[in-house]
Amino acid sequence: MMFDSDILVWHLRGNTSATSAMEAEPAREISVVSYMEVLRGVRDKKELRDVKSFLAEFGFRVLPLSESIGQLAAAYVEKFYLRIRMSVPDALLAATAAEFGLPLATGNTKHFPPLDGLDIRPFRVTT
């Protein structure tokens, strides 16, 4: 299962439903784009260590970008930007999940239109 950055952030904020969603999956992946999105939120070196520790403890594999992912993401933006304002990071996430044949867990389902080869798994935050 590939996780969107929103679920990682919810976990880091202490949300147990996000933690449970990740723990329920035996294989956990994130796009390098999600990794960078999470890093943008760290405020100091301790938080950076905490993020890296969390990813290691949960056994996350960070998936790289490739030429084919870039081409597919560009096609998604061409097709969907005018209709739903699909962002470049979301297009890269969708293309990465499609390229690796992984379902994408996200709380931001509205960011991802129905796409061939993309299995969106909605995540709902509970408190």
- Residue 92 domain-assigned? yes
- Residue 91 domain-assigned? yes
The pLDDT of residue 127: 65
| The 3-state secondary structure of 30-88, one letter per residue | EEHHHHHHHHCCCCCHHHHHHHHHHHHHCCCEEECCCHHHHHHHHHHHHHHHHHHCCCH
- Residue 23 domain-assigned? yes
- Residue 127 domain-assigned? no
| Whether this model's pTM surpasses 0.85 | yes
- Residue 107 domain-assigned? yes
- Residue 54 domain-assigned? yes
What is the spatial distance between Cα 5 and Cα 93, in angstroms, rounded to a whole number?
Answer: 10
- Residue 15 domain-assigned? yes
Under 8 Å between Cβ of 6 and 21: no
Domain residues for the domain of 55 are 2-122
**Structure tokens belonging to residue 69:** 């992912």
Q: List C-alpha distances in Å: 80 to 6, 37, 117.
A: 21, 22, 16
- Residue 114 domain-assigned? yes
The pLDDT of residue 57: 95
The pLDDT of residue 81: 77
Which CATH number does the domain housing residue 117 bear? 3.40.50.1010
Under 8 Å between Cβ of 96 and 89: no
Integer Rg of the chain from CA: 14
Can you give the pLDDT of all 127 residues of the chain as single tens digits?
Answer: 999 999 999 999 999 999 999 999 999 999 999 999 999 999 999 999 999 999 999 999 999 999 999 999 999 999 887 777 889 999 999 999 999 999 999 998 888 877 777 899 999 887 6
For residue 89, is it left (φ>0), alpha (ψ between -120 and 50) or beta?
alpha
Domains in the chain: how many in total? Answer: 1
What is the spatial distance between Cα 111 and Cα 106, in angstroms, rounded to a whole number?
Answer: 9
